[in-house]
């Protein structure tokens, strides 16, 4: 006997398939070495690039096999003439189309009230080929509109690509959207036309992840300064329109170390979170929508 579902149930099933109410769970924890304190991770064309602040800033290339990262033997040092340039990398803005940017956030005093924030436009393919920034540094931009640090990430707003960044601190935090073509050639983010939009956001943002399938900006955060995991999902369009973060959901994970970065993999049902800990610093996660 053939059964037909009522239209009301069909409608609810359709709504459920487009839910923007995520849940997150750690699937497996393991340790990746040789990064110093891991500061983030980027997923590009099936490969993963984890970056950290070893004796110099460093990026290492990996591939996911089962639920662990396999090191592919390729390491990029963020140096010029052997000297450390990007010593504390905080964000890789890559979308496969526009210029590639890497952030550098340097705390200048113990209180965290003085920061030096720099965004570097780089030749990404050249960096991968040669293993250093020699000949691969396109431009150096002082992020002087920031409040505390910089963490560039590509996002879309009104179908146009921007480089977003956010502050790390206990108050007055903002997410700002920069024009990537202008950012590539200016010396400061305060120059005319670079900062296009902004909105206020909650504290302790370590990194950003854009979810194009949902129009959601994910803030990778700490619950308190330097400790405990928090993921805040924002409605991007509404946040820009209102000038204040519009929260879809906040997910706190029971981990006491410092969450630094998160990236989705081939689908938005799986991801990897990284922390600055020496052990269990890489965590595969399942995401339920």
State mean pLDDT over 22-44: 95
Q: For residues 6 and 121, what is the distance between their CA atoms, to the nearest angstrom? A: 55
Domain count, the chain: 1
Distance of CA 8 to CAs 1, 100, 286, Å?
21, 47, 30
pTM above 0.75, yes or no: yes
Q: Which pLDDT band holds residue 4 (cuts at 50, 70, 90)?
A: low
Give the CA distances from residue 281 to residues 58, 164, 189, 226, 257, in Å, rounded to whole numbers and listed in that order: 16, 25, 32, 14, 9
The answer as to whether 186 is a domain residue is: yes
CA gap 208, 217 in Å, rounded: 7
* 26 burial type by CB count under 10 A (0-12 exposed, 13-18 middle, 19+ buried): middle
pLDDT tens-digit map of 195-252: 999 999 999 999 999 999 999 999 999 999 999 999 999 999 999 999 999 999 999 9
Position of tokens 């691969």? 136
The torsion region of residue 268 among left (phi > 0), alpha (psi -120 to 50) and beta comes to: alpha
Q: Is residue 146 part of a domain?
A: yes
Mean of the pLDDT values across residues 262-273? 95
In a domain, 5, yes or no: no
d(CA 158, CA 136): 31
Output the pLDDT for position 34: 96
| pLDDT attached to residue 70 | 93
pLDDT digits (tens, 9 = 90+) for 65-106: 887 889 999 999 999 999 999 999 999 999 999 999 999 988
At 116 the pLDDT is 86
Domain holding 184, by residue range, is: 22-288
Q: What is the pLDDT of residues 131-175, one digit of tens each?
A: 999 999 999 999 999 888 899 999 999 999 999 999 998 888 999
Give the pLDDT of residue 112: 62
Q: Is residue 15 part of a domain?
A: no
Instruction: Report the CATH number at residue 54.
Output: 2.120.10
In a domain, 245, yes or no: yes
In this predicted structure, the answer to whether residue 9 has a pLDDT above a threshold of 60 is: no
Place 15 in a pLDDT band, splitting at 50, 70 and 90.
very low
Higher per-residue confidence, 179 vs 148: 179
Which two three-digit tokens encode residue 159? 């179908």
> Does some domain include residue 17?
no
What residues does 174 pair with on adjacent strands? Answer: 200
Does residue 8 form part of some domain? Answer: no
Residue 49 falls within a domain, yes or no?
yes
């Amino acid at each position: 006997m053939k059964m037909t579902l009522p239209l009301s149930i069909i409608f609810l099933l359709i709504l459920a398939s487009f839910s923007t109410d995520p849940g997150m769970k750690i699937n497996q924890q393991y340790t990746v070495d040789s990064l110093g304190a891991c500061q983030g991770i980027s997923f590009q064309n099936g490969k993963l690039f984890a970056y950290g602040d070893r004796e110099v800033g460093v990026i290492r290339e990996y591939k996911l096999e089962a639920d662990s990262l396999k090191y592919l033997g390729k390491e990029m040092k963020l140096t010029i003439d052997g000297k450390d340039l990007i010593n504390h990398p905080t964000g890789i803005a890559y979308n496969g189309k526009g210029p590639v940017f890497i952030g550098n956030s340097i705390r200048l005093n113990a209180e965290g009230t003085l920061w030096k924030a720099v965004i570097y436009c780089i030749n990404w393919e050249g960096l991968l080929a040669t293993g250093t920034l020699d000949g691969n540094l396109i431009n150096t931009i002082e992020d002087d509109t920031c409040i505390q640090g910089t963490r560039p990430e590509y996002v879309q707003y009104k179908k146009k690509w921007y480089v977003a960044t956010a502050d790390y601190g206990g108050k007055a935090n903002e997410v700002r959207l920069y024009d990537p073509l202008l950012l590539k050639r200016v010396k400061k983010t305060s120059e005319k036309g670079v900062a296009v939009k902004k909105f206020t956001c909650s504290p302790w943002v370590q990194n950003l992840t854009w979810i194009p399938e949902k129009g959601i900006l994910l803030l990778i955060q700490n619950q308190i300064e330097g400790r405990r995991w928090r993921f805040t999902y924002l409605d991007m369009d509404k946040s820009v329109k209102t000038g204040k973060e519009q929260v879809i959901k906040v997910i706190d994970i029971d981990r006491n170390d410092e969450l630094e970065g998160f990236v989705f993999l081939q689908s938005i049902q799986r991801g990897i979170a990284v922390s600055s800990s020496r052990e269990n610093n890489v965590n595969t996660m399942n995401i339920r929508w």
